[in-house]
A and B are shown apart, each in its own frame.
Chain A
Amino acid sequence: MKLIKIDQQNWNTGIEKAKSAYRVFGPVKEKNDYEFKVLGTNEMPDLNFRNTRLSPKSIIYPQSQVMFTYSIDETKDDCRIMKEVENVTSPMAIIGVRPCDALSFPIVRRNFDTPEYQDTYWIKAYEATTFVGLACNSACDTCFCTSAGTGPFGEEGLDVLIIKDGDDFYTKIITPKGEAFAESAGWGKKEQTDITAKIKELKTAAEASVSSTVSTDKLKNKTILDLYDAPFWEEEAFACINCGTCTYVCPTCWCFDVQDETHGKSGIRMRNWDSCMFPLFTHHASGHNPRNNKYERVRQRFMHKLKYYVDKYDSGIQCVGCGRCIRLCPVNIDIRKICDKMNSFDTESCKCEATSS
């Protein structure tokens, strides 16, 4: 790992230079909110953002992605043959990934890159990408990253971490990918500087600014069925409108649905994000739906993130504490509250009365 200090001038020229080797993405203000966009010539990432409204997951894993094309023209030889679309990704660099969002990529990787199953679309995009993170000097009220396996200066999932101090950019080069990026930005020859003490100071202040915490320590030892049958689900799920916002904005939600669309004689097979909050998600062809009730869907989302994932991978929760679902849920279903309910749930002492729906 190498620590260098970059001034505003060098930052601007570096980002501009990197654009010749990478497709560079960065936060840009759109209407009222920030979004990750490809940066054009002379366009700089706007680092005044707190976090983007949607997470950067769509850069690696687009909401709609074409995988195959086909023809249904009987006069053609290749009629009804699925042809894979070209799946090559040129190098990309995402500037300004917040540490919470950075951690989501290794989490999602556990699903898309396993010894038995390789999702080549996700893997190729992931491998082609350099993650240039931006430390948070102060956290939002809804962030709970320090309870979710990272923190405002967290490095997991990042190739470079930028720490902004006034006009200076303290740059931590973490991986070889990060080194290659620094090289192409022209920062490669910069001398290592001793800014460790300064960074430590900023980090301590940033961590102290995280005002919200949740407890996850007891989740692992709970019995799945105890939590599944806990009486609070119906009451907590009452307000939910099953809109799926929480899962679409979440950096760690990975579910998709495969669809064919035919226009005239040709068609595409694509995948689109799906959501466990939609009744259609589990609707069987027979008409049966094993998760027919709203509370069952709400329960699924939280059980997956906070129990099944915890048990399966033994690497913490499937949530990075970015707080997006809390900020954007239209009916204020708050994962912090549910997580605390699950973590402290005790079959013996539970006297709460379930409400029916």
Chain B
Amino acid sequence: MKEYTEKIREIAKRLLNDGTVDMVIGFRKGTLPMMNQPHIATCTDSADELMWDSNCGLNLANYVTDRKEKIGIVAKGCDSRNLVTHVIENKIKRDQLYIIGIPCSGMIDHHKITAMFDTDITSVKESGESITISGNDFSKKLIKQDVLCENCAACTHRNPVEYDELVADLVEEQTDVDPYESVTEIESMDAEEKWNYFEDLISPCIRCYACRNACPLCYCPTCFVDESTPQWVGKSQDPIDVRTFHLLRAFHCAGRCTDCGACERVCPMGIKIREFTKKLNKDCLELYGWEAGLSLDERPPLDTFKTDDPDEFIK
């Protein structure tokens, strides 16, 4: 990952110096292991803070929404797909962006790794395909593939789909994976089992909305849960309102979600929120042959129609 870091810094400094961009958005090292921080570099000094490793799982497309400047942005596969979605939805112009593409080999799951140890992890070092986790009185080597985020383990778009420059050669895409394994499992449940499954899934939710706020798709000026005239959703911990939030948010993401996993990564309660969005992704794939953010020239299935639509209601 050292090579990625060096290359990102080199590109960022060049772009800032020659005036191609006003800023470069990427990651800098955080204060805790496995926690990098989105960072905005506007000068060569701050560009030297940019870095890359397997803890850059947040989605940086979230940080360019409605910005007016010329922006250099570091983008792995999923970020680039959300940038494409942003362009299609007029949240940023393609020519405002200089996309620094990252061929990605997956991000590691800090929730999972933290849960594997009883004491504090003080350092996490990567080298190639192995990760060494150390604490005050232990050190353990893990294989990166075993501790990948769930969405990364089943990702079929690791390479950026849209970029102006790459930091390294493209990586091989995974083909023998099933991103919808858990959806198929839930689909086979009966209604009551499904109900119980989802009730249990969201029961710890504190409605902080971190999932919504980390998602590049959730850019509405006023989210339906925040609307006060009329107020659609109550603000307490009433399970009806908690359900309403999750179901409606998922539907708002239908045909747009790239399964980047940012929502799940940020949830302080460790809720697997992607179980909702993944179902809709699967439906979009099966019904419309659609995966979000793969092309700048096609609109998502739910904001367009075709005259040869087989359904009657559209005619």
Contacts and interface: CB of A to CB of B under 8 A. Distances in A.
A14 B211 CA distance: 43
Nearest to B212: A243
A259 B235 contact: yes
Contact of A353 (B37, B43, B63, B265): B43
Interface in A337-357: 337, 353, 355, 357
Interface stretch (B28-36, B145-153, B158-166, B278-286): B28-36
A334 B236 CA distance: 28
A332 B236 contact: no
A243 B213 contact: yes
Contact of B38 (A30, A53, A238, A328): A238
Contacts of B30: 332, 334
Contact of A239 (B38, B235, B265): B38
Nearest to A258: B235
A353 B16 CA distance: 15
A336 interface: yes
Given A239-B38, A244-B209, A248-B206, A331 B58 contact: yes
B31 A326 contact: yes
Q: How big is chain A's contact interface, by range?
A: 35 or more
A275 B115 CA distance: 28
A198 interface: no
Interface residues of B, number: 40
B42 A326 contact: no
A333 B236 CA distance: 27
Contacts of A241: 62, 210, 213-214, 266
A141 B120 contact: yes
B81 to A, nearest CB: 19
Interface string A259-279: 101000000001010010011
A332 B36 contact: yes
Given A245-B210, A327-B32, A334-B31, A239 B269 contact: no
A8 interface: no
Dominant SS among interface residues on chain A: loop
A232 B121 CA distance: 29
Interface in A105-157: 140-142
B287 interface: no
B133 to A, nearest CB: 14
A73 interface: no
A322 B40 CA distance: 29
A257 interface: yes
Contacts of B228: 280
Nearest to B114: A32
B122 interface: yes
A238 B209 contact: no
A176 interface: no
B157 interface: no
A238 B40 contact: yes
A230 interface: no
A249 B235 contact: no
Interface in A282-333: 326-328, 330-333
B208 interface: yes
Given A32-B270, A33-B270, A140-B120, A243 B209 contact: yes
A64 interface: yes
Contacts of B234: 259, 261
Contact of A141 (B39, B62, B122): B122
Contacts of A84: none
A243 B210 contact: yes
B213 A242 contact: yes
Contacts of A242: 213
A321 to B, nearest CB: 15
B48 to A, nearest CB: 14
Nearest to B112: A32
Given A327-B32, A332-B31, A355-B23, A31 B40 contact: no
Interface string B214-257: 10000000000010100000111110000000000000000000
Contact of A357 (B40, B122, B208, B265): B40
Contact of A330 (B204, B210, B238): B210
B235 A272 contact: yes
B214 A330 contact: yes
Contacts of B43: 353
Contact of A261 (B39, B63, B236): B236
A330 B62 CA distance: 14
Contacts of B23: 355
B235 A257 contact: yes
Contacts of B46: 235, 355
Given A53-B268, A330-B268, A331-B37, A64 B213 contact: no
A63 interface: yes
B31 to A, nearest CB: 4
Interface string B1-36: 000000000000000000000010000001110011
22 contacts: A31-B204, A63-B237, A64-B238, A141-B122, A239-B37, A241-B62, A241-B213, A245-B210, A257-B235, A259-B234, A259-B236, A272-B235, A275-B208, A279-B226, A330-B58, A330-B265, A331-B38, A331-B58, A332-B37, A334-B30, A334-B32, A357-B40
Given A33-B270, A63-B206, 15 more contacts: A31-B270, A64-B238, A142-B120, A239-B38, A241-B210, A241-B213, A243-B210, A244-B210, A245-B208, A259-B234, A330-B58, A330-B214, A332-B30, A334-B31, A355-B23
List of 9 A-B pairs having minimum Cβ-Cβ separation, nearest first: A330-B266, A243-B210, A332-B30, A64-B236, A241-B213, A239-B38, A332-B35, A141-B120, A334-B31
